[in-house]
């Protein structure tokens, strides 16, 4: 797991957000994208990283 993945999960949990809630905030249709980011399988685009 990358530092980005760990930090994303930590920040999401600190904000008391579920993966689904974060996905909605970022405009994703499914929470599986967030799960994939947290597992290090893919990375956020720069635009969504800024959000």
Rounded to whole angstroms, the Cα distance separating 34 from 20 reads: 8
Q: pTM for the full model?
A: 0.81
For 48, the 3-state DSSP assignment is: helix
Judged against a pLDDT cut of 80, whether residue 48 lies above it is answered with no
Structural tokens at position 8: 């994303």
Q: Which of 31, 25, 35, 26 is nearest to 5 (CA)?
A: 35
Rounded to whole angstroms, the Cα distance separating 28 from 3 reads: 22
pLDDT of residue 39: 94
pLDDT confidence bin for 47, thresholds 50/70/90: confident
For 51, the 3-state DSSP assignment is: coil
Q: Residues 44, 11: contact at Cβ < 8 Å?
A: no
pLDDT of residue 17: 97
Judged against a pLDDT cut of 90, whether residue 32 lies above it is answered with yes
């Amino acid at each position: 797991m990358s530092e980005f993945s760990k930090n994303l999960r930590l920040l999401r949990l600190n904000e008391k957000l579920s993966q689904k809630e974060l996905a909605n905030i970022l405009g994703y249709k499914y929470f599986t994208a967030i799960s994939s980011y947290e597992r290090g399988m893919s990375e956020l685009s720069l635009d969504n990283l800024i959000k």
